[in-house]
A and B are shown apart, each in its own frame.
Chain A
Amino acid sequence: MGEILDSHGDNRLDVHVGLTLDDVRPPSDEEILRVEDLTVEFPTDDGVVHAVRGVSYVLHQREVLGIVGESGSGKSVSSMAVMGLLPRTARISGRIFFRGEDVLALPQRRRRDLRGKKIAMVFQDPMTALNPVFTIGDQLAEAVLAHELMPRKQALGRAREMLDLVGIPQAEARLRAYPHEFSGGMRQRAMIAMAVINNPDVIIADEPTTALDVTVQAQILEKLIEVKDAVNAAIVLITHDLGVIAGMAHKVLVMYAGKPVEVADTDAIFYSPRMPYTAGLLGSMPSTDTTGHRLRPIKGAPPSLINLPSGCPFSPRCPLADEECVTREPDLALTDALDHRAACHHWPKMKAVEDPTVFFRAESEIQG
């Protein structure tokens, strides 16, 4: 068992052979973004959707926070709330501080000044995130001109620099190209260029590699780290793929049914998860040592965000669930390690085994 665990971890952290966080400047203590008890609800015809139910985190300068969860877990919605991009019907409560200033209390004008200037965003699907009818140069320059009055030529010059920075060859000529003339990877590079063009303090990357070819994914992640270092920004990296997080994030926040269920350093998440859901995610992730094993998906589906089950929202799918889990929803509480929080009544059981993914193995597999 011990051997398996070791090779597990090593292989996972080796997914990125190129640039990792260890190669760039470490985070400082300066607090950039603080989210406190953020909740988001959407009233719909079928009832109120509880998309985010109390998310809190702190982001320091140059730090990378990974937010992991299945689709519908509230990870994107919480970041859209930070950006102020949710539809008007959304009911938002809680507090979001950017450099100590409560963003939610700011007037629209001031929020817009933050958007794209201080907090920038990279979206999931570069195929649809760029406007098909304007040139790349126009769309990049526009991001500059939205916040600073300057001659167009100067803004285009800045756009060219950024395309250089993200590694797009012949940047000058590419300024005049339309998005459909770019490949998926190039478009995502252009999106990253657009995000960093105003030297933001925070970049929110919402599944930046999901829509891309596997071969390009690693390049894009490296590029993200490289530009982050170049502009001194912190990153919120949203993904459903734990593999993306390894080597890419300093700490990780795992979300389930709109709530954070585990928060810890990246290593702790991989080596000693304290929430069965995290373990389930690890078990369902392919890696080099699982050759010959079946992947172990978590059975069932995430709950409806309109009618949440009583107690722990993961209990219907959880192998450790008992009476208590169905009646009382666990709080996100400290576990055995410093700064390692998990929302599970049974985290000690997780600690007791060496490979926590064992709970998700089929009976036959354990016997064999």
Chain B
Amino acid sequence: MTLSAPVTSGDAQGMTIVARTQGQLVRRRFFQHKAAMTGLVVLLAVVVLAFTSVGFGPFGGWWKHGWTTTGRVIDGGAPTLTLWPFSIGEHPFGQDNVGKDYFALVMRGTQQSLLVALLVGLVATSVGTFVGAAAGYFRRRTETALMRLTDVMITIPVLLIAAIVGRMAGGSGILVLGLALGLVIWPQLARLVRGEVLSLREREFIEAARAIGTRPRRIIFKHILPNTLGIIIVSTTLTIASAILVESAISFLGFGVQPPDISLGQLISFYQGAMLTRPWLFWWPGILIITVALSINFIGDGLRDAFDPRQNRVRA
């Protein structure tokens, strides 16, 4: 009972369905996905806010306070942000116990958490795709070796290995940390890609390519990987979302981002004791983590629906 709309052929008139390329279909479905669009807008807003407000690198920000400057604690450091009537006030997110502006701190933490997560996503995707594609395409010894390695890595709970890696790399700055975390979070993705490659390599067009003597490298890069692009993009997105949480969790445990760098998880860990006296020190970083992770997850969901409109596929 498949009622697929056929693509028009040149000589048949009276049929109004216009052929669309795969890319156009994906884009159209993605832009029609309300949750994903909301996620995208919110994420962009957070990114712009985080990077422009307190500045990044050589570029200064427009926010009046820096994240390192201490000051006089006003009104116990309570947040001055009010929604009705809307007013930002002097310290919208409040101040910590030595008078640092909490908005500036949280924005700086958001920047660094985002950077770590992005880096983790990119590194993990590259390694995972490489391992998965190689294992899936070459079979035999290469596959056995790579998949055993993947199995071993997967046995170790992500948080444990991340904590250990964080303990090693946390003090060396966020770039090293992101790189190191990426190097241990790839196994899930490798499995996914391998599964996809395995099913693709049995398809006729790959057989055809092989039959005319195409080299393996060309088959992998020209024929197989483009077809796994959807699944790779989707899992990259979801990896970034979970990287935000992993980074914040290990920073909370004390194994992640180390001072003078600031991350959202580290802020929560740092001010955990202030829960009773200054709860806002605890609230804001948490809200930011949820906002960012939720937006990215929704974007990932939209991408998945766009690439795989059946929507009910089981990923395992």
- Chain A interfacial positions (CB closer than 8 Å to B): 42, 46, 49, 51, 71-72, 76-77, 80, 299-307, 309-310, 315-317, 326
Contacts and interface: CB of A to CB of B under 8 A. Distances in A.
B12 A304 contact: no
Given A299-B12, A300-B9, A307-B15, 18 more contacts: A42-B3, A46-B5, A72-B2, A72-B4, A76-B1, A299-B11, A303-B15, A304-B6, A304-B16, A304-B17, A305-B3, A306-B5, A309-B13, A309-B14, A309-B15, A310-B14, A316-B13, A316-B14
Nearest to B16: A307
Nearest to B10: A300
A71 B1 CA distance: 8
A49 B15 contact: no
Question: Range of interface residues on chain B?
Answer: 10 to 19
Contacts of B2: 71-72
A306 to B, nearest CB: 7
A300 to B, nearest CB: 4
Q: Which 3 A-B pairs have CB atoms at the shortest separation, nearest pair first? A: A309-B14, A300-B12, A316-B14
Contacts of A326: 14
A301 B11 CA distance: 10
A305 B14 CA distance: 12
Interface in B1-60: 1-6, 8-9, 11-17
Contacts of B15: 301, 303-304, 307, 309, 316
23 contacts: A71-B2, A72-B4, A76-B1, A77-B1, A299-B12, A300-B9, A300-B12, A301-B8, A301-B9, A301-B15, A303-B15, A304-B5, A304-B6, A304-B15, A305-B3, A307-B17, A309-B13, A315-B14, A316-B13, A316-B14, A316-B15, A317-B12, A326-B14
Nearest to A85: B1
Given A304-B17, A307-B15, A307-B17, A72 B3 contact: yes
B6 A301 contact: yes
A301 B15 CA distance: 10
Nearest to B17: A304
Chain B binding surface SS class: loop
A333 B15 CA distance: 26
Contacts of B13: 309, 316
A306 B15 CA distance: 10
B13 to A, nearest CB: 5
Contacts of A310: 14
A301 B7 CA distance: 9
Interface string B144-183: 0000000000000000000000000000000000000000
A46 B25 CA distance: 13
A300 B11 contact: yes
A325 B176 CA distance: 72
Contacts of B11: 299-300
Contacts of A46: 5
A309 B3 CA distance: 17
B1 A80 contact: yes
Contacts of A72: 2-4
Contacts of B12: 299-301, 316-317
A219 B13 CA distance: 42
Nearest to A299: B11
B107 to A, nearest CB: 41
Interface in B113-155: none
Interface string B185-213: 00000000000000000000000000000
Contacts of B4: 72
Contacts of B3: 42, 49, 51, 72, 305
Nearest to A206: B1
A183 B35 CA distance: 47
Contacts of A307: 15-17
A254 B215 CA distance: 50
Nearest to B4: A72
A305 B16 CA distance: 11
A124 to B, nearest CB: 10
A263 to B, nearest CB: 23
Contacts of B16: 304, 307
A51 B4 CA distance: 11
Contacts of A300: 9, 11-12
A71 B6 CA distance: 11
A352 B16 CA distance: 34
A258 B183 CA distance: 56
Contacts of B8: 301
Nearest to A87: B1
A318 to B, nearest CB: 11
A308 to B, nearest CB: 8
A303 B17 CA distance: 9
A163 B277 CA distance: 77
A34 B18 CA distance: 39
Contacts of A49: 3
Contacts of B1: 76-77, 80
Contacts of A316: 12-15
A71 B14 CA distance: 19
